[in-house]
Chains A and B, each alone.
Chain A
Amino acid sequence: MSEAFDARTYLENYDGPDFRIMEVCGTHTHEIFRQGIRRILSPKIKLISGPGCPVCVTPVSFIDEAVYLALEKGCTITTFGDLVRVPGTKMSLAGARAKGASIKVVYSPSDAVKYAGAHKDEQVVFLSVGFETTTPSDVIAVKTAMREGLTNFSLLTANKTMPGAYEAMGKSCDAFLYPGHVHCITGTQICKDMCEKGISGVIAGFTGDELLTALAIAAKKHAEGKPFFVNCYPRVVTDEGSPAAVAIVDKFMQPCDAEWRGIGTIPMSGMELRDEYAAYDARKKFEIPDLKGEYKTACRCGDVLQGKILPKECPLFGKACNPDHPVGACMVSSEGACSAFFMYGGDL
């Protein structure tokens, strides 16, 4: 019997107290589906897909700001591809592109800086969304633009940090499957602090064996009845994380309140550029007015993100909302829970 089979056997035969574990990371959601893990879990273990896709929690007002920059200010918008079809109040960035806006999909923030360097007659704005994992790359882009003397590059920020979300969502589940790559930046202290507050979880990697092992350890710990934390991804996540990443983000950015789509405003859960870097802050540079995004549809992404319902319980799922015609951000993003349920089976 292989070691992996032991973890699987434990999960299949788990007969402890009911266990609700929330996978925070969208990549975890997809990998768990793709590996078929949902199908082998004991009925006493419920997986809940949480708020860990940056695209899914980006508010409508952010899309409206990007559309404003593209259409009213004539900026070239550079962005990860997932954001292009996320609906805004009046239109998505794809809609803005249809009206003549310049929307460029890039692989990374540094590619956006390269574009700005090669197109100095354009004002290039990078849509800076993401969690602790992505934010270092965003500020490295600003640092590069400064070093190269580029005055035509800026960030529209919607960066977020996870601890506030863990606390806001802590009552939605019995434990978190913490996102491995967030914690390779932050280290493990945040999770230890959560454990002190009674919020349990395990940091998990992304292979099938890593996910099975992390889930089995979490279930076993849950059955023991005490708050717990275990780093189940030690080959990448160290206790100290990445001091260099934390330091460079702290140099360029400071915490701010942030709106999470479907959840609301979580105090000090966002990151914005410090005042001394205002020339690289698109919100200040282009004096964007205060845009109030409007959510108009019956889409229940907010309830999905909080683990209150499964995607299939949304009245739009698989009907008005599907990957070809997404209504909500959770269906737009390839890492979204609705996208995963649609792709791998909405019956689970």
Chain B
Amino acid sequence: MCVGLSAKVISVKDGVAIVDASGAKREVSAELLDDLEPGEYVMVHAGAAIAKITDDDKNETDKLKEEYLK
């Protein structure tokens, strides 16, 4: 029940977003995120978009390794 799914926002209207998660389109609540725009990526959990995804994991971990593992 706790698995988060990353998904691309297709459209947003009245606090509801249509998202594309690996080809599967779903309606989710967008109530928790301000200024959500089509094309952005979000983390979806239990039917709600809970956070924006601001980078890919490669860039993220490259920066972390540079700072902490050198």
Contacts and interface: CB of A to CB of B under 8 A. Distances in A.
Interface of A: 3-4, 6-7, 10, 25-27, 52-55, 80-83, 107-111, 129-131, 133-134, 136-138, 140, 180-181, 184-185, 205-207, 209-210, 212-213, 216-217, 220-221, 230, 232-238, 242, 244-245, 248, 333, 335
A130 B1 contact: yes
Given A133-B46, A210-B61, A237 B2 contact: no
A236 to B, nearest CB: 5
A210 B60 contact: yes
Given A134-B46, A236-B51, A335 B60 contact: no
Contacts of B1: 54-55, 80-83, 129-130, 134, 333, 335
A205 B57 contact: yes
B50 A133 contact: yes
A80 B31 CA distance: 21
A181 B53 contact: no
Contacts of A82: 1
A242 B52 CA distance: 10
Contacts of B62: 3
Interface residues of B, number: 32
B54 to A, nearest CB: 5
Interface in B7-39: 28-29, 31-34
Contacts of B58: 209
Q: How would you classify the secondary structure of chain A's contact residues: helix, strand, loop or mixed?
A: helix
A185 B53 CA distance: 13
Interface of B: 1-4, 28-29, 31-34, 43, 45-48, 50-62, 64-65, 68-69
17 contacts: A110-B47, A110-B48, A134-B46, A138-B46, A181-B2, A181-B45, A205-B60, A212-B61, A216-B65, A217-B69, A220-B69, A221-B68, A230-B64, A230-B68, A235-B60, A244-B31, A335-B3
Contacts of B31: 140, 244, 248
A192 B40 CA distance: 29
Contacts of B32: 136, 242, 244-245, 248
A245 B50 contact: yes
Contacts of B29: 110, 137, 140
Nearest to B51: A184
Contacts of A4: 61
B57 to A, nearest CB: 5
Given A80-B1, A217-B68, A242-B32, A111 B47 contact: yes
A80 B34 CA distance: 28
A25 B64 contact: no
B46 A108 contact: yes
Nearest to A209: B61
A64 B57 CA distance: 42
B54 A26 contact: no
In this complex, which of B28, B34, B50, B58 has the most chain A Cβ atoms within 10 angstroms of its Cβ? B50
